[in-house]
Chains A and B, each alone.
Chain A
């Protein structure tokens, strides 16, 4: 098998990277792909919690790199999908415990077994970020419609391109349609114009995300018309399918979105 690896990154913390990884990964697994999620946020591991797998961790990514165990031993199989795996981060180590070349060979090994390897990057632009992107074939950037998040996304785009990850695409998370229509939130068009990258997905703000992280159950598991559907659509686009962007408010807005997409 020759799978693909992608890194989900953002620069700014708290914009929804881990939630995005959990949901996209689960959605890909629901489409019958074999998927491995890697938590590259060493020292601040959380993907296991969002996935509801925190009680199953025996070994972690640092154990694999330091050869305390074999790669297969560290992989945790998801509760709900037998074709979904998690390689957890270490919680008691720091970002220097894994080097970019080690990450690269780890991801290469996983790609032999998996259709998709989805890497959850830590916030920031330091060592942890460099490790997280080392093995990735392409990158998705998560941002929210806020000045600080978009600014950091712009910085990350520059850094990714400098590292050879060309044409990263952006996921705009937590769009609040009421605020957009009041003129109190930047819209998709504004953000895409500023960042000058291709749009990969739009995720509406949805309280269900908090509920799903409370329970450790990614929102894509249930029929959810807002955030859940948005993440499923992103997963389908990752597999190469053309999926229209969900309508957030009225038809005119939808038309605008379609217009943006047709530019690329």
Chain B
């Protein structure tokens, strides 16, 4: 889910690219399911990401190359989990 969404959000994948058709299928599927599950178009997702980043940056120093977002399905609900890694200020 993470890799697919990162790519979806316009971030480069950190993992080495596996070009097997199964992996292409899996990544495309994960990408499609993010949209299906939360009913947001790719452009809406992009602006959500930008807005979230803007708000976060107002208060903390976010490393915007490392943001991770995923949609998880749990027992009774779905959750959007966003991970904003902070830059260390003292370096």
A194 close to B29 (CB less than 8 A):
yes
- The answer to the question of B47 belonging to the interface, with a C-beta cut-off of 8 Å to chain A, is no
Residues from chain A with a CB closer than 8 A to the CB of B33 are 151, 154, 194
Q: Which residue of B lies closest to A182 (CB)?
A: B20
Contact status B36-A184, CB under 8 Å: no
The B45-79 residues at the A interface (CB cut-off 8 A) are 72-74
For B1-45 the 0/1 string (1 means CB < 8 A from A) is: 100000000000000001011110110111011001100000000
- For B18, what are the chain A residues with a Cβ–Cβ distance below 8 Å? 183
Interface flag for A190 (CB, 8 Å) = yes
Residue of A nearest to B19 (CB): A183
- For window 143-173 of chain A, which residues contact chain B by CB distance below 8 Å? 146-147, 150-151, 154-155, 157-158
Q: Contacts A183-B21, A184-B21 hold; do A155 and B36 have CB atoms under 8 A apart? A: yes
CA distance A180 to B26 in the complex (A): 13
Q: Is there an interface contact between B30 and A194, defined as CB atoms closer than 8 Å? A: yes
- Which residue of chain A lies nearest to B4 when distances are taken between CB atoms in the complex? A194
Q: Are A186 and B22 in contact (CB under 8 A)?
A: yes
The answer to whether A147 touches B25 (Cβ under 8 A) is yes
Tally B residues with Cβ within 8 Å of A. Answer: 18
Whether A151 lies near B29 (C-beta < 8 A) is yes
| Chain A: CB-nearest residue to B77 | A161
Give B86 Cβ to nearest chain A Cβ, in Å: 29
Least CB separation from A167: chain B residue? B75
| CA–CA, A180 and B30, complex, Å | 19
Contact A158 B21 (CB under 8 A): no
Instruction: Answer yes or no: A196 CB below 8 A from chain B CBs.
Output: yes
- Whether a CB of chain B sits under 8 angstroms from the CB of A185 is yes
Q: Does A187 contact B (CB under 8 A)?
A: yes
Q: A155 to B28, alpha carbons, bound, how many Å?
A: 16
Determine the distance from Cα of A182 to Cα of B19 in the docked complex, in whole angstroms. Answer: 12
- Bound together, the chains give a CA A154 to CA B1 distance in angstroms of 14
Are A187's CB and B22's CB within 8 A?
yes
Residues of A within 8 A of B36 (CB): 151, 154-155
Q: When the two chains form their complex, are residues B29 and A184 in contact, meaning their CB atoms are under 8 A apart? A: no
Interface residues of A (CB under 8 A from B): 146-147, 150-151, 154-155, 157-158, 180, 182-187, 190, 194, 196
- Given A184-B22, A190-B26, 6 more A-B residue pairs with CB atoms under 8 Å apart are A151-B36, A182-B20, A185-B22, A194-B26, A196-B72, A196-B73
